[in-house]
Amino acid sequence: MSVMGIFNVIRFELAICLGKCALFFSQIFRRGGGTAVSGLVATFIEPNIQQQISKILSREIIFVTGTNGKTGTSSLISQILRSKVDFVLSNSSGSNLARGVVSAYISSFGIGGIFKRRRQRLASVFEVDEAVIPSLSSRMNPKVQVFLNLSRDQLDRYGEIDSIASSWVQSLSSESRTLPDVLVVNADDPKLFSLIDTGYKKSIQTITFGLADLSVALDDSFDGQDRDYCSCGSQIRYEVKYVGQSGVWSCSSCDIRRPSPDVLATKILLENDRSYVEIKLAGHSETLGLTVHQQGLYSVYNVLAAISAAWGYGIHPVDSIHVIESATGVFGRQEEFLVANVKVKIWLAKNPQGLNEVLRTLTESNDAPLDLLLVLNDGIQDGKDVSWIYDANFEILDGKYKFLVCSGSRAHNLSLRCLIAGLEVVKSDSNIMSMLDFSLDRTLPTETLNIVTTYTGMIEIREDLASRTGVLPYWK
């Protein structure tokens, strides 16, 4: 090894060492799980650390991105891969910027990671922020890239989604990076068609997934979604919609239409605590059945994406299904706690499409009136612009709840939105813990308190409930 090579190794290990120290002190002083600060410190010492990590991992990397479903899908893929390889590295805490990926490496391997890598067969699954994935992909060159969906989210940070979609396509069209071996794309989302088209043109193995069951089609009586347009400028028309703008679509002018999905859910039964799904694979005659232990149609999309990604990685869908049927959930996403004999369930919703699906799932899967605590924060991780709540279908809650409480830093905005929807708010206050206790006191032991919250509210509530019930912090 040259002198420069030795120097680079020393600098890399120093960066990891100092990042590890930052991680340790962050957790000791209860400043979070260190899921970002350790990566920030390490990157300051070694600016090329992502490239170094990619080399250590030999490109055995899967990136997952999209507006909704990143954490749940990444968790499923990780659990599938763990059935086949020695160790799977992932940013399971949900810290999905570049620093979060570095932090995941630091917390899993730390000092001497280069040498530990040689003794194990490793794979890695990282959820990546929509705006970050073009730059991070060019530095880490993942083997598989998964694109789940694309809808409006945090306009103050991302801007319009067309710019995000364009950056994704440009990243795959770049001649200066190593292209992925496999693309996994949601065929039902017309905003992702350009990725599928680019994959075909670049001769990248492209696996698509989607739904084909009219019984779970979206009732489009609430028309709060934006109109979708083809690249030719004409409006997209739908035979059926399933979630947001995802469905069976075609251009009203040119010949572009939804491609036939390679992994297709042909039958879906949504129950109040699980879903049954039947899947057909392109080129295979048999039908595969599985039970998903999560509620909602978006959970089915996550499962299809995970099966597709594992298939692209080299794991047959039959093997993936065995793992998914016994898979554990993800913190803060339909996670349940038992507090003083009252069941509490947390639902994360941070944009119109995500909130619509949560409310749709809650109202369609529960016969009894709902006990609801809604939380709206405007932290950096939530998005400072909360006007998106006016694009969400709160009206669907009319007549479906026993009590409704609002909280969070923007509780007043949330209460006003509920008032406009004709909903009665029994109490509203920015103090989340106070409103949590108030809601728990009003929930009977035979009932479930459903908490629908944005990201920072979820972290605060989850930390409190974990402390009350003896559950580990989310970063452990």
pLDDT digits (tens, 9 = 90+) for 73-124: 999 999 999 999 888 999 887 888 888 899 888 887 644 444 455 556 789 9
Q: Give the residue among 172, 165, 35, 148 at the shortest CA–CA distance from 455.
A: 35
Please, what is the average pLDDT of the chain? 89
**Could you tell me which residues are beta bridge partners of residue 290?**
277
Q: How many angstroms separate the CA atoms of 255 and 265, rounded?
A: 24
- What is the identity of the amino acid at 456? T
Q: 177 falls in which pLDDT band (50, 70, 90)?
A: confident
Confidence (pLDDT) at 21: 86
Q: Give the residue among 160, 163, 132 at the shortest CA–CA distance from 145.
A: 132
- CA dihedral angle for residue 395, residue 398, residue 402, residue 403, rounded to 10 degrees: 40
Q: Give the residue among 309, 306, 350 at the shortest CA–CA distance from 324.
A: 306
Taking only the tens place, the pLDDT of each residue in 195-218 is 999 999 999 999 999 999 999 998
Q: 249 pLDDT exceeds 60?
A: yes
Taking only the tens place, the pLDDT of each residue in 257-294 is 999 999 999 999 998 888 999 999 998 999 999 999 99
Query: Angle of helix 133-140 relative to helix 98-108, nearest 10 degrees?
Result: 50
Confidence (pLDDT) at 111: 46
Asked if residue 450 lies in contact with residue 371, where contact means CB atoms within 8 angstroms, the answer is: yes
Asked if residue 276 lies in contact with residue 289, where contact means CB atoms within 8 angstroms, the answer is: yes
- What is the pTM assigned to this prediction? 0.91
Q: Per this entry, what is the length of the chain?
A: 476
Q: DSSP labels for 438-468?
A: HHHHHS-TTSEEEEEE-HHHHHHHHHHHHHH
Q: Which residue has the tokens 């039970």?
A: 291
Query: Angle of helix 161-173 relative to helix 193-201, nearest 10 degrees?
Result: 10
Give 144's contacts (C-beta < 8 A, 6+ positions apart): 61, 62, 63, 180, 181, 182, 183, 184, 309, 312, 313
Confidence (pLDDT) at 475: 58
Higher pLDDT: 60 or 153? It is 60
Question: CA torsion sign, 89 to 90 to 92 to 98?
Answer: positive
Query: Angle of helix 70-82 relative to helix 317-324, nearest 10 degrees?
Result: 110
Confidence (pLDDT) at 181: 96
- Tell me the average pLDDT across 403-414: 97
Joined tokens for residue 284 = 């295979």
Phi/psi of residue 110, nearest 5 degrees:
70, -145
